[in-house]
Chain A
Amino acid sequence: MRAALPVLVVLALIGALWYAAVPFMNIRVSLDLAERMGETVEPEGVNVRRELSVPTLLLNNPGRIGETFRLERPRLPTPGQVLSELWATSGAMVLEGRGFSKRSLIYHGWITLRSTLSGFALGLALGLAGAVAITYARVVERSLMPWAIISQTIPIVALAPMIVVLSSQIGVEGRGLPKAIISAYLCYFPILVGMVKGLNSPSDQQLDLLKTYSASGFQSFWKLRLPASMPYLFASLKVGIAAALVGTIVGELPTGAISGLGARILIGDQFGTPLAIWAALLAAAILAGLLVTALDMVQRSVLRRRGMAA
């Protein structure tokens, strides 16, 4: 409870700031709309208003401030509007029995989640294999590590359209694979770095002890290095899954995908429905929170069983 109170206060502050910003962001749209409906606003004419500052407009039209919170296509929607849009495209559709229709965010979230998980699995395999190779072969570390670092400084989004083109030319149908590749590219690195650290975390004394037991290389890996790396593994898994989700959504943004949360953002932009964009963003945030929390729970139970409860 003592930890929750500051968080709640800060959240409330952010919410208050958000609500306070809404009239400032929306007053122009609101006035233009009202004028088109034939109501009198002060001053009249879009071009006249463009010359005036936002605070002046608010002072001139105090009666219109209420409307700025209820616009259908606001520049900045209120948190309440975003939540109700999210509910309308997820929970409400479930109640109607159309939870997996193509207009529901649950369907799009599922598509995104699937790509994220397959990309995460691919990145995990790459990262683990790389970490084991680096731990056991010095030449791999010296050749690979600089390139692994450089690979992360390349903005992957530049590559995203190319990956889509390439995989469709090779004959891979659908967008699952390219999205998974992009998210694997983003998430393998934290896992690689964390696991290299983790696999090297046993002390020389511990390694020597296993040598006196005449343990084979595989045994010392399985019984010492791998268990010792668990805390590092989970810390980097949590970073990795968040990166995988970013990768999937980036993969869905520029490539003309039609399903997935990133595609909802793109479509919302093309059709000029800001509420859809915000709802998809919120859904992505919730998905990220769920994924990280799930990993956190696995981490707790595994570490407790191993006697390493943090």
Chain B
Amino acid sequence: MSWLAIILIVWPLAWALNVAMVRSAFGETRAVSLLVPLVFGATLILLWEGLVRHFNVMPVILPAPSAVWARFVDSRELLWGDFQQTVLKGALSGYAIGCIAAFIAAVLIDRSSFLTRGLLPIGNFVAALPIVGIAPILVSWFGFDWESKAAVVVVMVFFPMLVNCVQGLRETEAMQRDLMRTYAASYGQTMWRLRLPAAMPFIFNGLKISTTLALIGAVVAEYFGSPTRGMGFRISTGVGSLSIDLVWAEIMVAALAGTVLYGVVAWIERRLCFWHPSHRK
């Protein structure tokens, strides 16, 4: 049986399965919510595999998922080294520095309503700019190693994080702040017990946006010069030397890293912001 036939049979079947699962009595259970997208994703991968095999697409153009997986298993060590260089050293350190700096800046700015009013529009505007273009400048300032990648990430995550923190700190109502005053709460106490918890959903929104930006920044910065390891380096040289399966394996690692990073932040958010309407059951 040809691959095309398999696709034409499996695809509608999988879709029918999903429809049946969603409409069934168990449609709202957790297992089904996990299973439905998994079936959908598996179908997509099968579609990719089948089309590549059926049309005999050359591996230098688009390798089949099975070939990518084989390459991934073969070069685990290489990929792990790239992962360390780009994600652990470049992206995560920049992410931590940038987010903490933005948070501290937001708390400081928040003390003056004049500064807040001046900085919010500017921050909002800068957050929408294509800041990744600053990568070559920072690479020439901080050298080729991971420090320059971390610097790019710091600049990229700073403004979205700052805007979210400042906005979050303004979230409390006058009534709530008055209540804290009647309790004779100090600035620190009001901050810790009222305003920070109220700002949490916003802070986590900024943290979640920043996870993706951090990876983008770290990878792009490597296109402008890096030591001979790192995900961006491997991708750009891999495209040049036509080892496309390695590039796809690297993309797989990037996708996994991005998803896990986002998932971790979302998990912490659910733990800390369980009281927020969007997380209530």
Residues of A within 8 A of B259 (CB): 150, 153-154
In whole angstroms, how far apart are the Cα atoms of A91 and B115 in the complex?
Answer: 34
Q: How far is the CB of B160 from chain A (nearest CB, A)?
A: 11
Q: In chain B between 228 and 259, which residues have their CB closer than 8 angstroms to a CB of chain A?
A: 231-232, 235-236, 239, 244, 247-248, 250-251, 254-255, 258-259
For residue A238, give the distance in angstroms from its CB to the closest CB of chain B. Answer: 8
Nearest CB of chain B from residue A150's CB, rounded to whole Å = 5
Known contacts A7-B118, A142-B36, A292-B128: does B141 contact A75 (CB below 8 Å)?
yes
Chain B residue, CB-CB nearest to A148: B37
Within 8 A of B (CB), among A23-49: none
Chain B, residue nearest A287 (CB): B130
* B144 interfacial contact with A, CB 8 Å: no
Quote the shortest CB–CB distance from B8 to chain A (angstroms): 19
- Encoded as 1 (CB less than 8 Å from any B CB) or 0, chain A from 236 to 261 comes to 00010010011001100110000001
Nearest A-chain residue to B215, judged by Cβ: A155
What residues of B have a CB within 8 angstroms of the CB of A75 in the complex?
Answer: 140-141
A249 touches B117 (CB 8 A): no
Residues of B within 8 A of A246 (CB): 130, 132
The answer to whether A161 touches B255 (Cβ under 8 A) is no
- Which stretch (B73-81, B175-183, B218-226) binds chain A? B218-226
Output the least CB separation between A206 and chain B (Å).
Answer: 22
B40–A249 CB distance below 8 A: no
Asked whether B88 is an interface residue with its Cβ less than 8 Å from the other chain, the reply is: no
Asked if B134 is an interface residue, CB under 8 A from chain A, the answer is: yes
What total of chain B residues lie within 8 Å of the partner, measured CB to CB?
60
- Which A residues touch B41, using CB under 8 A? 147
The chain B residue sitting closest to A289, CB to CB, is B125
Residues of B within 8 A of A169 (CB): 60-61
The distance from the CB of B122 to the nearest CB of chain A, in whole angstroms, is 6
Q: Enumerate chain B residues within 8 angstroms of A146, measured Cβ to Cβ.
A: 37
Chain A residues near B85 (CB, 8 Å)?
Answer: none
- Which of A253, A280, A285 sits near B132, CB closer than 8 Å? A253
Q: Is the Cβ of A155 less than 8 Å from the Cβ of B133? A: no
B37 touches A143 (CB 8 A): yes
Contact between chains at A250 and B255 (CB < 8 Å): no
Question: Could you tell me which residues of chain A, from 217 to 247, have a CB within 8 Å of some CB in chain B?
Answer: 239, 242, 245-246
CB-based contact B118/A6 at 8 Å: yes
Q: How far is the CB of A246 from chain B (nearest CB, A)?
A: 4
Minimal beta-carbon separation of B263 from chain A (angstroms): 8
Judging by beta carbons under 8 Å apart, are A6 and B239 in contact? no
Q: Is A165 an interface residue (CB 8 A)?
A: yes
B119 interface contact, C-beta 8 A: yes
Residue B56 lies at the interface, judged by CB distance under 8 Å to chain A: no
Q: Which 7 A-B pairs have the closest CB atoms?
A: A6-B118, A10-B118, A269-B136, A242-B128, A153-B258, A143-B40, A155-B215
